[in-house]
Amino acid sequence: MWIADKWKDYEVLDCSGGEKLERWGRYILLRPDPQVIWTTPKTDRRWKRLNAHYHRSKRGGGEWEFFDLPEQWDIHYGDLTFRLKPFSFKHTGLFPEQAVNWDWFSGIIKRAGRPVKVLNLFAYTGGATLAAAAAGASVTHVDASKGMVTWARENALASGLGNAPVRWLVDDCVKFVEREIRRGNHYDGIIMDPPSYGRGPKGEIWKIEEKIYPLVCLCEKLLSDNPLFFLINSYTTGLQPAVLSYMLGSAVSPGHGGNINSQEIGLPVSGNGLVLPCGASGRWESGV
């Protein structure tokens, strides 16, 4: 498992009974987590000293209960700054486990010793975009949500990357890739973090089990003559690490060689020494 264990402003304090107790900077949040199917004694006093608690409804969805939480606050990862705010379906605008992937591809970009172009699809609030840009890459950031792209740009400004070479695009990711192929554009690195289910800006339906492999095959056509990496993230139960490896192995390796490694990603739990599973990632690297 790849573990995001370099955070200072974020911490999983404890987890029990379907919930995880987290520290986001100064603030303590309690949120549901479907992986936490065990129950242990809640000895940490912060279980009862919450700033906010997201309650899941038995009918689906849920709602926040706020005690003492600002509308927005910042946390940092190295030189990167992220604006956080609680919004629908328990999220805060950041998936901290992804830091383990940011560190991986940032190292590849820095070691390349040449200009690097990166495409970030389903780019959300821009964690991977900022990490790649800070490492020296030119990034094309694509997400179907205008609100998420605006949020990502705010994160870039907060991180001192307002003038970094980033293209911010509100677009359907599949249609954008198809147009890029026709335009003859290429990228040295590709990142994708597709949702399990979603809709494009014009109502296009996305089901990951049906759409992910055709998209990987399309993206392979966008790789440059000397590509560096390809990263797939998955929070979908059926897409295990082996499945991610098989997709990369059949779509990317035949034309580009390289090495593939896929693992679960996770966050350390400071209160009990466990590692909380947080999805999986598949990595292809040229090895050059």
Asked if residue 101 and residue 49 are part of one domain, the reply reads: no
Domain count for the chain: 2
E strand or H helix at 129: helix 127-134
141 and 118 within one domain: yes
Q: Give the pLDDT band (50/70/90) at residue 200.
A: low
**Those residues with Cβ within 8 angstroms of residue 148's Cβ, 6 or more apart along the chain or in another chain:** 123, 124, 125
Q: Mark which of 84, 105, 129 sits at the end of a domain.
A: 84
Global pTM value? 0.93
Q: Is residue 90 part of a domain?
A: no
Is residue 265 within 8 Å of residue 100, measured between CB atoms?
yes
Residue 204, pLDDT above cutoff 70: no
Does any domain span residue 160?
A: yes
Kindly state whether residue 26 falls inside one of the protein's structural domains.
yes
For the segment 175-191, what is each residue's pLDDT rounded down to a tens digit? 999 999 999 999 999 99
Rg value, the chain, Cα: 19
180 and 221 in a single domain? The answer is yes
Shared domain for 44 and 143, answered yes or no, is: no
Where residue 65 sits, what CATH number does that domain have? Answer: 2.60.40.1180
Cα–Cα distance between 18 and 286 in angstroms, integer?
39
Q: Specify the pLDDT at position 58.
A: 76
11 pLDDT higher than 90: yes
If asked whether residues 205 and 113 sit together in one domain, one would say yes
Structural domain including 19 reads: 2-84
Do residue 149 and residue 222 come from a single domain?
Answer: yes
| Whether residues 74 and 115 fall in one domain | no
pLDDT band with cut points at 50, 70 and 90 for residue 206: low
Is the pLDDT at 202 greater than 90? The verdict is: no
| Per-residue confidence (pLDDT) for residue 178, from 0 to 100 | 97
Listed range (70-79, 235-244, 279-288) with the worst mean pLDDT: 235-244
Q: State whether 102 and 244 are in the same domain.
A: yes
Q: Is residue 31 part of a domain?
A: yes
The CATH number for 281's domain is 3.40.50.150
What values do phi and psi take at 93, rounded to 5?
100, 10
Q: Is residue 145 part of a domain?
A: yes
In this structure, the answer to whether residues 256 and 121 fall within a common structural domain is yes
Return mean pLDDT, the chain. 93
pLDDT given at position 169: 98
What pLDDT is attached to residue 2? 97
- Tell me which of 73-77, 79-83, 237-241 is least confident: 237-241
Domain shared by 158 and 230, yes or no? yes
**Tens digits of per-residue pLDDT, 231-283?**
999 987 668 899 999 999 999 999 999 999 999 999 999 988 899 999 999 99
For residues 169 and 27, state if they share a domain: no
In a domain, 89, yes or no: no
How is residue 2 written in tokens?
């790849």
Which residues, at least 6 apart from 260, have a Cβ–Cβ distance to it below 8 Å?
Answer: 245, 248, 249, 252, 253, 282, 283, 284, 285
Kindly state whether residue 91 falls inside one of the protein's structural domains.
Answer: no
- The DSSP secondary structure of 62-93, one letter per residue, reads EEEEESS--S-EEEEETTEEEEE---STT--S
Q: Which of 84, 108, 130 is the last residue of a domain?
A: 84
The proportion of the chain whose per-residue pLDDT surpasses 90, expressed as a percent, equals 84
Half-sphere exposure of 70 (CA within 13 A, CB side): 9
Domain boundary among 84, 104, 133: 84
156 and 263 housed in the same domain: yes
Residue 199: what pLDDT?
Answer: 66
- E strand or H helix at 168, and its extent? strand 166-170
The runs of H, that is alpha helices, within 143-280 are 146-158, 173-183, 208-220, 241-251, 253-256
pLDDT at position 194 is 86
